[in-house]
Amino acid sequence: MRGGRHREHFTPEREAELLKPFLESASIGGILVVSQIKPQLEMALGREMALSSVYKLPHR
């Protein structure tokens, strides 16, 4: 099997849904605060996430 996202935590649609409130507030304030995003993502996932995974998420 080649290509694709074989180790994804969430579907692209779910990622967008989870990030939406943070992106909306960032459009007003101009900054995303990863320390606020990480706990919400971990709660939705049901386990801890690597900080690097959280940093990569908004770039997709």
- Has this prediction a pTM greater than 0.85? no
How much is the pLDDT for 42? Answer: 96
Instruction: Residue 49: name the closest of 38, 36, 58 by CA.
Output: 38
Is 41 within 8 Å of 49 (Cβ atoms)?
Answer: yes
Rounded to whole angstroms, the Cα distance separating 43 from 30 reads 25
Task: Summarize pLDDT for 3-56 with one digit per residue, the tens.
Answer: 777 778 899 899 999 999 999 988 888 888 899 999 999 999 999 999 999 998
How much is the pLDDT for 1? Answer: 61
Axis crossing angle, helix 34-45 with helix 12-29, rounded to the nearest 10:
160
DSSP one-letter string for 16-49: HHHHHHHHHHHHHHS---HHHHHHHHHHHHTS--
